[in-house]
Amino acid sequence: MRAIVCRAYGPPEDLVFDQVDDPVAGPGQLLVRVHAAAVNFPDVLFIAGKYQVKIPPPFIPGNEIAGEVIAAGEGASFQPGQRVFGTTFGAFAELALLQSDLATPLPDDADFASGAVFGVTYRTAYHALRSTAGVAAGDWVVVLGAAGGVGLAAVDLAVALGARVLAAASSPEKLELCRQRGAEATVDYDREDLKSRIRELTGDSARVVIDPVGGDYAEPALRGLARGGMFVTLGYAAGSIPAIPLNLVLLKDLTVRGMEIRTFMAEHPDEYARDVEELSQLFTTGKVRPYIGARFPLAETPAALRYVAERKVLGKVVIDV
């Protein structure tokens, strides 16, 4: 099969498009003909050797796929011909292995691209909103990096939960997309004062900040929260980890929490199971569908990763295989 291979840690341009051996499904595994794979910011960190968990090269990057089952290992609960999506490793390839218990049937009215991009970012956003922050209908939720993968998922899901969304992003084009997805208010944080605009637009009642960006945006967003609000940190796509003055937390009775998708299932199994079931219903019924802002063929995966690394993306980026 053809695949994108990381032979040594480095930038996206160092990846190799190569011919490699076909994988073989073992017990409980599915061999999937990949039709679409998602590109996520952590993929950039994986190939650079900068993610929290390092995978020794050589390896095939990418961890979200949608496709057709072509073989099932012993004990697997799917049959050849079924359309599935799920999380794995080695997604940027023509064939990939997927654990049967991590596979989900793709709804008849959903295309492969939608299935491929729905997993990681939407689970991250939903766990953050539902379990970490306990967002309820009517709450003001501020989303930073609101046009990116996790950010736009958070906008979509907060709207689905009945919250009022203030979307913060870096261009008029990104903010217009957020309004189309249901954001009630928007802030261009590269051109406006984020703290004062949050207070003004929410009537000083912002209850939650969802932050997958970090960098210089975190502190003013924290300052914009209402007394007793919660700040949820999810990642640092801006490239730097912010230092938060703890006196702000003390004086305004704020809560700062982190949520990492990699460990959430093990640390919060009951909430994880509930969230996954609820999220699956939102997807299966068509109440939530991801926005795909760019598509690349498999051979151009390095360009897709560079596109994500430079924060050019609106919504999700898909690799068509």
Q: Give the CATH number, domain containing residue 163.
A: 3.40.50.720
**Domain housing 71:** 2-120+289-320
Give the whole-angstrom CA distance, residue 288 versus residue 294. 19
Q: Is residue 277 part of a domain?
A: no
Among 258, 279, 307, the domain boundary falls at 258
Strand partners, 233: 211, 258
| Neighbour order of strands in the sheet with 185-188 | 185-188, 164-169, 140-144, 206-211, 230-233, 255-258
217 and 116 together in one domain: no
Among 258, 277, 311, the domain boundary falls at 258
pLDDT > 90: percent of the chain: 83
SS3 call for 74: coil
Q: Is residue 182 part of a domain?
A: yes
- Kindly state the tokens that stand for 169: 């992003």
Whether residue 47 has pLDDT greater than 90:
yes
Q: Report pTM.
A: 0.88
107 and 139 together in one domain: no
Q: Is residue 281 part of a domain?
A: no
pLDDT value of position 313: 81
Whether residue 3 has pLDDT greater than 90:
yes
Whether residue 320 has pLDDT greater than 90:
yes
Number of separate domains in the chain: 2
254 and 141 together in one domain: yes
Q: Is residue 268 part of a domain?
A: no
Q: Which of 137-141, 236-240, 313-317 has the highest mean pLDDT?
A: 137-141
Whether residue 63 has pLDDT greater than 80:
yes
Q: How confident is the model at residue 284 (pLDDT cuts 50, 70, 90)?
A: confident
Of 256, 212, 205, 204, which is closest to residue 230 (Cα–Cα)? 256
Whether residue 101 has pLDDT greater than 90:
no
113 and 140 together in one domain: no
Strands (E), the chain: 2-5, 16-19, 29-39, 64-72, 83-87, 95-99, 103-105, 140-144, 164-169, 185-188, 206-211, 230-233, 255-258, 292-297, 316-320
Q: Is residue 127 part of a domain?
A: no
pLDDT value of position 203: 97
Q: How confident is the model at residue 120 (pLDDT cuts 50, 70, 90)?
A: confident
175 φ, ψ (degrees, to nearest 5):
-70, -35
Give the whole-angstrom CA distance, residue 33 versus residue 19. 16
Strand partners, 140: 164, 206
CATH number at 8 reads: 3.90.180.10
214 and 160 together in one domain: yes
pLDDT value of position 192: 95
Q: Tell me which DSSP letter residue 316 carries.
A: E
226 and 169 together in one domain: yes
88 and 146 together in one domain: no
Give yes or no for a contact between 15 and 6, defined as CB atoms under 8 angstroms apart: yes
Q: Is residue 278 part of a domain?
A: no
pLDDT > 70: percent of the chain: 100
Q: Is residue 269 part of a domain?
A: no
Whether residue 212 has pLDDT greater than 80:
yes
pLDDT value of position 109: 86
Among 235, 258, 281, the domain boundary falls at 258
67 and 109 together in one domain: yes
Q: Is residue 310 part of a domain?
A: yes
Mean pLDDT of 258-263: 89
pLDDT value of position 78: 93
Range from 4-13, 264-273, 291-300 carrying the lowest mean pLDDT: 264-273
189 and 302 together in one domain: no
Helices (H) and strands (E) in the chain, counts: 11, 15
Give the whole-angstrom CA distance, residue 259 versus residue 316. 21
Which residue has tokens 């990763």? 305
Which residue has tokens 């969230």? 275
Mean pLDDT of 252-263: 93
115 and 165 together in one domain: no
* CA quadruple 177, 178, 184, 187: dihedral sign: negative
SS3 call for 287: coil
222 and 254 together in one domain: yes
pLDDT value of position 189: 93
At residue 38, what is the residue type? A
At 219, which helix (H) or strand (E)? Answer: helix 218-224
Q: Tell me which DSSP letter residue 27 carries.
A: T
Mean pLDDT of 112-133: 94
Give the whole-angstrom CA distance, residue 36 versus residue 66. 5
241 and 146 together in one domain: yes
